[in-house]
Structure 1
Amino acid sequence: MASLIASPSASRILVLGGTTEAGRLAAALAARREMAAILSLAGRTAEAAPSALPRRIGGFGGIEGLMRWLAAERITAVVDATHPFAARISVNAAAACAALGLPLARLTRPAWTPQPGDRWQEVADARAAALALGAAPRRVFLTVGRLTLDAFTVAPQHRYLVRTIDAPDPPPALPDLTLVTARPPFTAEAETALMREHAVEVLVTKNSGGAATAGKLAAARALGLPVVVIRRPEKPAADTFLTVEAVLAWLEAHRPPP
């Protein structure tokens, strides 16, 4: 397991990562000698992107496990830069930081919002998205991540085009499934071509936000396709920022006294 090595006067920062934003923050922190940081990844993908910071991979063992780790590493601040749909770790981080009296910030990306010409139906979760597809068979482009696919087994009548970064193991019990594994970014032109190739009739996506996967929304808009959008889960209160620079300023303001 990775451990921080720093002078006693340095800030000791845990970055909960797994996003493009976390990678940018890691690169910025690596250049700051007065801030010793470690990047924590859940290990959900087979190959993590390279990091400028030391990394730890895997869970902490719930709130109490995270508290023990934070105390053992003498962490002075935590930045939650996890995916907008990574609700559990955000809840655990908020509870652990509150119990230990540690400052907590969140680095996130703005949610997508419907644009002129969009045909959105917003739903609360993956099961609601599956039911929103209706009873009649449709050709569905499913971009909700491999851990959410089982929710769609309640709607086996559809023909699914599923895209994930890593192949689901085991695959979901969907009788008509075409799997594509690919890593973003995806352009609107490539997404349009993919949807045309597979005669897609409806897109299902989480509202992850960001530019890397927004091309599918532009493609659906251009093709006049409906989109079922899963709303983001609520996350605990925290100082929330949209840029690395703002988080760095927050960390500077929360540096422990010398």
Structure 2
Amino acid sequence: MTAAPHVLILGGTTEARLLAAALVANTSDRPLLTRITSSLAGRVAQPRLPVGEVRIGGFGGPDGLARWMREQQVDALIDATHPFAGTISFNAASAAATAHVPLLALRRPSWVAGPEDRWHAVASLAGAADALPGLGERVFLTTGRLGLATFAPLTEHWFLVRSVDAPAPPMPPRMEVLLDRGPFSLESEAALLRRHRIEVLVTKDSGGRATAAKLTAAREAGLPVVVVRRPPVPDGVPVAEDVGQVEEWLRTAIG
């Protein structure tokens, strides 16, 4: 009996979990008979695990990933990592080329500013820190715990930092940490902005619905929003925006 094609999904995102669930359930009109392995980086202490086979931890760079895919006879690679997890995306592109495995990136659509939004788009966290003076002193910072060092020199600002796990130094000297995980409702986000007297929101263009309510709350409150633009996917890597597009691509890639 021929073994089912092996699909490796990189990422602990909502989209990665939805994709794994869809492929494991195999209930579409044109089912794909596949073996699914989901790989999580292990940066979150208590991740939400997808269904199916799961491995946690790094591969040891692109060479390690290529070696693992050859050993495990991976037939297709899906990069469903966070839009800002840039290193793993380039490692995936390099490894896929080395191992001759077809690669697709699954990326939720970017957020788009409306006519009433007061967005300030920047290219990096450093750009976000540079943009804050003059926009407000009480900052709702939702860029994750790993980039707080960039904001540490801003001694005149107060930060409300929201992350899944507790951050570690260096951090801004004036801050409060809110440990929480989305999705968040518009009502709760609006109440949070009022309660902490937030004057400016800083976020990454992560896209998706789970954390988009903060943008609506900021718009309704008339607050400026500093948005860090997402990095591009590696050159030549095709992109899907939803699970259905991934399934169509897989039918061509692995038959």
TM-score range, shorter-chain basis?
A: over 0.9
CA RMSD of aligned residues (A): 1.5
Identity across the alignment (%): 49
Aligned-partner SS, 2:139: strand
Distance 1:30 1:23 in 2: 10
- What amino acid maps onto 1:166 in structure 2? D
Which residue of the partner structure matches residue 13 of structure 2?
19
Alignment pair present for 1:205 and 2:203: yes
Give the 5 Å matches for 1:75-114.
75-114=74-113
- Cα offset, 1:90, TM superposition: 0.4
Distance 1:91 1:249 in 2: 23
Which residue of the partner structure matches residue 134 of structure 1?
133
Residues 13 and 78, structure 1, Cα contact 8 Å, conserved in 2: yes
Relative to structure 1, is the Cα distance of residues 8 and 156 closer, same or farther in structure 2, using a 3 angstrom cutoff? farther
Residues 135-161 of structure 1: per-residue CA shift (max 9 Å, x gap)? 787000000011111111132220001
Relative to structure 1, is the Cα distance of residues 213 and 137 closer, same or farther in structure 2, using a 3 angstrom cutoff? closer
Residues 83 and 107, structure 2, Cα contact 8 Å, conserved in 1: yes
Which residue of the partner structure matches residue 48 of structure 1?
47
The alignment's TM-score, normalised by the length of structure 1, stands at 0.93
Residues 227-248 of structure 1: per-residue CA shift (max 9 Å, x gap)? 0000001221312111111111
- Cα offset, 1:191, TM superposition: 0.7
Which residue of the partner structure matches residue 178 of structure 2?
180
Distance 2:136 2:205 in 1: 24
- Cα offset, 1:98, TM superposition: 1.1
Distance 2:49 2:63 in 1: 29
- Cα offset, 1:122, TM superposition: 0.5
- What amino acid maps onto 2:22 in structure 1? A
What is the total number of aligned residue pairs between the two structures?
249
The alignment's TM-score, normalised by the length of structure 2, stands at 0.94
Residues 165 and 181, structure 1, Cα contact 8 Å, conserved in 2: yes
Alignment pair present for 1:66 and 2:65: yes
Aligned-partner SS, 1:91: helix
Structure 2 unaligned residues grouped into runs of 5+: 27-31
Distance 1:68 1:250 in 2: 24
Structure 1 unaligned residues grouped into runs of 5+: 1-6
- Cα offset, 1:8, TM superposition: 3.9
Aligned-partner SS, 1:147: coil
Residues 131 and 154, structure 1, Cα contact 8 Å, conserved in 2: no
Distance 1:206 1:140 in 2: 14
- Cα offset, 1:204, TM superposition: 0.2
Distance 1:114 1:185 in 2: 20
Instruction: Pick the aligned partner of 2:23 from 29, 37, 43.
Output: 29
Which residue of the partner structure matches residue 29 of structure 2?
none
